[in-house]
Structure 1
Amino acid sequence: MKTEQKPLLSGYGSETTAKEIIAGQELRGKTAIVTGGHGGIGLETTRALVEAGATVIVGARNVEHAREILAPLPNVEVIRLDLMDPNSVDEFATEFLKSDRALDLLILNAGVSFPPEIKDARGYDTHFATNYLGHFQLTNRLWETLKRSGNAQVISLSSIGHMTGPIDFEDLHFTKRPYDKNISYGESKTACSLFAIELDQRGQAFGIRAFAVHPGAILSGLVRHLSNEDLAAWGVTRKEDGTYSSSGGFKTVEQGAATSVWCAVSPMLNGKGGVYCEDCDIAEAVSADSQLQRGVRPWAIDPASAKKLWAISEELLNIPHDMIPNNRK
């Protein structure tokens, strides 16, 4: 059943924190995976889920560093995961599958933003490979354990950056056009949204629902690749100690994690999925030419584009077409 891309008037907002969302929730016996769950909004997401009693598996490139950060939290496990390396993605999934657990929550949180032009060993654009394609591969590998839950949620972190425009399906890796870090980032986040649209269509018959999330603008380590001039355009100053100050308009990490947690646990979303969410609510669908720094543009929730991207992704990864069956009527 298709969910309307229309706010539910949840009663929450941009200043709501993950702690407020998780209050009173009971997740004992539930298992969650949070990629990049040891830093920034990922860490706050992990903290909230653990507080409600869930067991959380964190995917991290540097396992020892992640374990050190997460040591104060109970019921957290760390498995190495490099989303740019398909072998690492497979190894992470294999390690998790050994535990024979159902997977109730899959939060695709890890990502990169605005690096210089870098391609992986396959020649794939860094933004596309890390933010989207690695997560697509991981979800496919974990499909059976998501089905086993019977009531799983997959949360794919998108961004308002999707407003830069639709995906150029003819040049995903910037081999024909000049590299533009803003367009590259924006297209990867459009891909993350389209992924949730198509995954929800395929998964709902098995009790799997998917959501795309814009966490909001947060001053975290993800902006480290931006120049001082780029930051200044956003009203941000980089301090000598590596931290940032701003003239306002940014969320705290606690607020940034709130929408992911809301999509994971809110009873308001029971029976719903395949929508783009922000500020702890389903976002408003806005026009393609909207200049608002909120809402979702039509190309990020277009079913035909979502289906096309899925097929291309299967080809890029040599994934069998029937691994996650297409249930479209």
Structure 2
Amino acid sequence: MITEQKPLHSGYGPESTAQEIVSDQDLRGKTAIVTGGHGGIGLETTRALVGAGATVIVGARSVDRAREILASLPNVEVIRLDLMDPNSVEAFAKAFMNSGRALDLLILNAGVSFPPELKDARGFDTHFATNYLGHFQLTLRLWEALKRSGNARVVALSSIGHMIGPIDFDDLHFNKRPYDKNISYGESKTACSLFAVELDRRGQEYGVRAFAVHPGAILSGLVRHLSNEDLAEWGVTRNVDGTYTSSGGFKTVEQGAATSVWCAVSPMLNGMGGVYCEDCDIAEVVSADSQLQYGVRPWAIDPTSAKKLWDISVELLNIQKDTIPNVGTNLDSDRLLNVSIEEPVVNGQLSFTR
């Protein structure tokens, strides 16, 4: 069943917080994974889910740092995860799958924004590899656990940055065109939205629904790669102590986490999926040339592009096609990817929540 890309008028809005969303929720017995769930809006997402009774597994590049940050929260586990390293993704998924648990909520929150041109060991663009492709791989590796839930939700962090443009399928990794950090970031966030569209189509028969989320503009460590000139265009000043001052228009982390949590737990979304959400509601579709800082552009929810991206991703990861969940059947977790399971490699490229 296709969900209409049209606001529900949920009663929440841009100032709603993650804690407000879960105030009437009982998530005891539910298991969630939050990538990058130890910083920024990821940390607030973890707090909200744990506060409502869920057990949360956090994927983090630095396990010790994440455990230190999360030490005061009950029912939180940390497993190392480097989304740019397919072996690390495999190891994370295998550790969870070996627990035999069902996975009720998968929140694909970690990411990078606006780093200088950098490619991973495979030659993949950093934005594409971290924000999208690592999460694509992780989701497939966790497929059986999602199916086991019978009522799972996957939330992929997109961004209003998708308005920058559609994906250039002929040059995903900027091998032909000059690198542009804004275009690279925007295309990776378009990819996250398209992933939710195709995953929802494949998963809904098995109770797996997917959503894409624009959390809103939030000042965090994610903007550290931007120059002072770039920040000034957003009305932001970088202070000498590393903090930021803005002229307004930015959400707090508590507000930024609200839409992710709403998509994960709201009963209003029962039986729905495959839509792009913002401000705790389904976003409206705006024209391709719109300069509005809200709404979803048509290319980010186009089902043909979504399927094309899925198929290309399968090829990029060298996935054996007979193990892909075509609406969820016959996935062998030990044969999914042609990579070895070994200790993840730490390559110095940090991931941050967004």
With the length of structure 1 as denominator, give the TM-score of the two structures: 0.99
Q: Is the 8 A contact 1:195 1:306 kept in 2?
A: yes
**Which residue does the alignment assign to 2:143?**
143
1:191-234: per-residue Cα shift (whole Å, max 9, x none)? 00000000000000000000000000000111010000000000
Aligned to 2:132: 132
Q: Decide whether the 8 Å contact of 1:22 with 1:52 is kept in 2.
A: yes
1:234-253 mapped onto 2 (5 Å cutoff): 234-253=234-253
Q: Quick check: 1:58–1:79 contact (8 Å CA) kept in 2?
A: yes
Aligned-pair CA distance for 1:148: 0.2
Amino acid at match of 1:252: T
Moved over 6 A (4+): none
Q: What SS does structure 2 have at the residue aligned with 1:224?
A: helix
Using the TM superposition, give the Cα deviation of residue 327 of structure 1 relative to its aligned residue in structure 2, in angstroms.
4.3
- Say which SS state the counterpart of residue 144 (structure 1) adopts: helix
Deviations 1:68-103 (A, max 9, x none): 000000000000000000000000001111110000
How many Å separate the matches in 2 of 1:139 and 1:265? Answer: 19
Number of matched residues?
328
2:214 pairs with 1:211: no
Counterpart residue type for residue 229 of structure 2: E
Which position in structure 1 is the counterpart of 2:285? 285
Question: 1:168-190 CA distances to partner (integer Å, 9 max, x unpaired)?
Answer: 00000000000000000000000
Deviations 1:278-315 (A, max 9, x none): 00000001110111000000000000000000000000
Are 1:310 and 2:310 counterparts? yes
Gaps of 5+ in 2: 329-354
Task: Indicate the residue corresponding to 1:263 in structure 2.
Answer: 263
- Secondary structure of the 2:9 match is coil
When the two chains are superposed, the root-mean-square deviation of aligned CA atoms in Å is 0.9
SS at structure 2 position matched to 1:34: strand
Contact 1:197 1:211 in 2 (8 A): yes
Q: Which amino acid aligns with 1:230?
A: D
- Percentage of matched positions with identical amino acids: 84
| Aligned mates of 2:301, 2:166 — CA distance in 1 | 10
- Map of 1:97 onto structure 2: 97
Contact 2:215 2:257 in 1 (8 A): yes
Deviations 1:264-288 (A, max 9, x none): 1100000000000000000001110
CA distance in 2, matches of 1:147, 1:173: 32
> CA distance change for structure 1 residues 200 and 324 in 2, over 3 Å: closer, same or farther?
farther
**Distance in 1 separating the partners of 2:234 and 2:66:** 30
Q: TM-score, normalised by structure 2?
A: 0.92
**Aligned counterpart, 1:300:** 300
1: CA distance, partners of 2:22 / 2:110: 21
AA aligned to 2:101 is: R
For the Cα contact (< 8 Å) 1:37–1:43, is it kept in 2? yes
The answer to whether the 8 Å contact 2:105/2:152 transfers is: yes
Task: State the match for 1:123 in structure 2.
Answer: 123
Displacement of 1:322: 3.9
Q: State the shift of 1:319 in Å.
A: 1.2
Q: State the alpha-carbon separation in 1 of the partners of residues 214 and 287 from structure 2.
A: 17
Distance in 2 separating the partners of 1:319 and 1:141: 11
Q: Which has the higher contact order (CA 8 A, sep 6+)?
A: 2
Alignment deviations for residues 28-72 of structure 1 (CA, whole Å, 9 cap, x no partner): 000000000000000000000000000000000000000000000
* 8 Å CA contact retained: 1:143, 1:324: no
Determine whether 1:178 maps to 2:178: yes
Deviation at 1:323, TM superposition (A): 3.3
1:322–1:302 Cα change, 3 Å? farther
